[in-house]
Chain A
C-alpha cells in the first residue's frame, strides 16, 4: 500500500466545495476527504439525500469531478452502470463511487447494493451514516439506534423514541463475501483515509461505512462534530473494523469504554432517555463487543 495519509501529506486540491451543507456537517467532511484520496478521475453517484441536495443546485455545482444524482434506491445500480460503461469504453484508471446516506443504504438502496456486491462490480460504496433521514427532516431509518428521538419516532410516555437497534450493515455487506469492507468515523480521519486508500486499490466492490454526526439532526453544537464522532467509538457505540480476504479485524479495542452518558447527554435526540433506556443501550453494546472481541481480534 502507498504512503499513509494524514493532514500533512493529503493534497491541498479540493474536489467538493461551495456546497450548502450545514455548519459542522460530518457527512460533507467525509465526502470531501474521500474525494481528496480518490482524486480527479473519480465518477460519483449520489442518491437523493443531503449531499446531493446541497451540491447540485443549478447552476451551482459543488463537484469539480464527474458526478450524478441517482434515484433514491439506485446508488449501487448507477455506480455499477458507470463502471461497466467506463470498462466497455476502455477508459482506464478511474474510480467509480457511490456516496449514500444511512437510509439510502440500509433501507431503500440495500437491494441495488447487494446486486453490485454480488456481481463484484468495481465500485467503492460509501454509507455516510448519520443515523436518520436528515434531508427530509430527521425521520427514523434502519440505522437509527435504540432510544433516538426523530420526527417519526417521537419519545413520549409510551415509547423511548426508536425501538429498533440499528441494522448491522457492515456484517450484512461482509456476508456477501465482498472484496473489502470497513467501518470508519469522521472522529478518526487518518483511519478513514487509510481505508479509502485501501478501497481505491481494491479490485472489485468495496464498502466503507463512515459514522458522521449531524448537528442539525442530532441537536448538538456544530463545533463538537469530531469530538462526538470520537466519543461514539471510544464509548463502544460505534466501532472501527475491516473485512478483508474473508476475515474480520477489529482496528480499535478500547481497554475501557468512555462514558456513554457523556456521549448521549450533549445530543438533543437522546435528552429524554431514562437510566433504564441507557441500560438497554449499554447491554446491546456489551453483547456486540463480546462477540467482536472473541472473533475479530
Chain B
C-alpha cells in the first residue's frame, strides 16, 4: 500500500490518473491550477496515457470534453469560480446530452469583489445545471471520489456528468497523508466500458444534442429528472462496492456523526465537517445532545436519508457558504423543503459563513450550536444568522 503526503489538488490528479481518462481539457484558474499542472506532468512522463488539450478558455474546456464524450471516450476537466461560470452554458448542455463527464471544481468566491479564496457561491450557481454535485471533506475523499465519479456518471441508468467539489485552498492546498489505491484494483472497480449504444459510433451513427420542440421537450427533461433520481441507489451502491474493495466507506449520499439521539443537528458540506466534528466531541463531553449531518451530495438531494437521519432532531442548523441574495443560503432552502415533509418537522436555523474564505472557527460553530440549543429550549433565535462577521445584518 502506497501512502503519499500530498495536497487536495495532488490527490485529485492521482485519482484522475487512476481513472484513466482518454482526454483532459482544462484551463488554469486559482486554486485549481496545481491539479491540472500535475496532470500535464503525468501525461508528459507517460504515467497517464491521455491527450492533454491546452484549451483557450473554460468554455472550450467543457465543450471539448463534450466532443470527447460524444465519441465514447472518457473526459476530464477541472475549474473553479469565474471559470465555472464562464463555462456555465455548457453544463446543462452536457447533462441534457447525458454525457458522463467528470469535473473537479475548486469551490471559490465569485467576483465582485474579487477574491480567490474558498466559498461555495460558484457551485451553488450551477445547482440546477443537471450535474450530480458531490462535496468532499478531505484529500483522501477527493482522490477516491474521482474514481467513484466515473463509475456513477457512466452507469447505464445514470449517464449524467458529475462535479466533484473541493473547498478552495482549505482542501486544494492543504497537505495530508493520502493512500493511493493500486491501479489493478481500480481497473477492476472501474473498467473501461463501451458506451457506443448511447453515443456516436461508426457502425451506428447518431445525431446528438438534437432539437426537441414543445412536442417532445418535456419528455426528454422528465427522463433526465427520473435518471437523476435513479442515481441515488447507484451512488449508494458504488460507495459500498468501493468500500468493500478499498476499505473506505463514505456512506453514499450523506454521513452522520452522533446523530441518532441528538436533539440539535448541524448540517455541513465539505471541509467544515471536520471542524464541526471536533465541536460535537467537545459538547458531547459536556453532556449536550448535539450531532452532525454531512451532506455529501446536493444533487441529487438525499431526501429520504435526511428524513430518516433527522427523525429525532428538534432543531436543525444548516451551514451555507453562499447566499442566494434576497432570500437565504441555498442549502438551507433545499433542506427546509425536505424537513417540512417529515412527520414532526424540526425547527431550522441558517448559519451563513465562510464567504470569500472567512474563517469559520470552532468557536463560531460552538456559538451556532448554542443558538440551536437555546431554540430547543424555547428561546427565539434569528432564522438566518451570519458567522464571524463584523457588519450589522
Contacts and interface: CB of A to CB of B under 8 A. Distances in A.
Interface in A46-80: 52-53, 55-59, 61, 63-71, 73-74, 76-80
Interface in B185-207: 200-202, 205-207
Contact of B210 (A58, A84, A114): A58
A66 B93 CA distance: 18
B233 interface: no
A41 interface: yes
A56 B23 contact: no
Given A58-B210, A61-B207, A63-B205, A88 B53 contact: no
Interface string B50-62: 1101111101100
B70 interface: yes
Interface stretch (B71-79, B104-112, B120-128, B251-259): B71-79
Contacts of A88: 22-23, 50-51, 68, 73
Contacts of A87: 51
A73 B206 contact: no
A73 B73 CA distance: 22
A82 B90 contact: no
B301 to A, nearest CB: 27
B205 A56 contact: no
Contacts of A64: 205
A68 B53 contact: no
A85 B208 CA distance: 16
A76 B61 CA distance: 11
B375 interface: no
Contact of B56 (A40, A52, A63, A118): A118
Contacts of B212: 58
| Residue among B22, B207, B209, B212 with max Cβ neighbours from chain A (10 Å) | B207
Contact of B70 (A41, A56, A63, A82): A82
B68 A84 contact: yes
Contacts of A69: 208-211
A209 B93 CA distance: 28
Contacts of B71: 43, 66, 82, 85-86, 89, 91
Contacts of B23: 81, 84-85, 88
In the A-B complex, the 10 residue pairs with the smallest Cβ-Cβ separation, listed nearest first, are A81-B67, A85-B73, A115-B56, A88-B22, A74-B63, A81-B64, A77-B63, A85-B68, A77-B60, A78-B67
B89 interface: yes
A66 B206 CA distance: 5
A74 B211 contact: no
A165 interface: no
B66 A78 contact: yes
Contacts of A53: 211
B59 A77 contact: yes
Contacts of A267: none
Given A73-B63, A81-B65, A111-B59, 14 more contacts: A45-B67, A53-B211, A58-B213, A66-B71, A66-B202, A66-B208, A68-B207, A69-B210, A74-B60, A78-B63, A81-B66, A84-B68, A88-B23, A88-B68
A130 to B, nearest CB: 20
Contacts of B69: 81, 85
A40 B203 CA distance: 10
Contacts of A253: none
A84 B53 contact: yes
B325 interface: no
Interface in A194-218: none
Given A77-B55, A119-B54, A84 B206 contact: no
B32 interface: no
A67 B208 contact: yes
A80 B67 contact: yes
A111 B205 contact: no
A71 B93 contact: yes
Contacts of B114: none
| Residue among A57, A74, A87, A118 with max Cβ neighbours from chain B (10 Å) | A74
Interface string B210-233: 111100100000000000000000
B25 interface: yes
A82 B93 CA distance: 16
A58 B221 CA distance: 14
A89 B72 contact: yes
Given A57-B213, A58-B211, A58-B216, A81 B53 contact: yes
Given A63-B207, A66-B201, A81-B66, A114 B53 contact: no
Contact of A74 (B59, B201, B216): B59
Contacts of A118: 56
A94 interface: yes
A64 B93 CA distance: 23
24 contacts: A55-B207, A57-B213, A58-B211, A59-B216, A63-B207, A65-B205, A66-B208, A70-B209, A74-B90, A77-B59, A78-B67, A81-B68, A84-B25, A84-B67, A85-B22, A85-B67, A85-B68, A86-B73, A89-B73, A111-B56, A112-B57, A112-B60, A115-B54, A115-B60
A57 B75 CA distance: 27
Nearest to A72: B89
Contact of B22 (A41, A80, A89): A89
A76 to B, nearest CB: 8
Contact of A78 (B51, B64, B213): B64
B64 A84 contact: yes
A91 B210 contact: no
A72 to B, nearest CB: 8
Interface in A110-136: 111-112, 114-115, 118-119
A56 B216 CA distance: 13
A81 B215 CA distance: 31
Contact of B53 (A59, A74, A119): A119
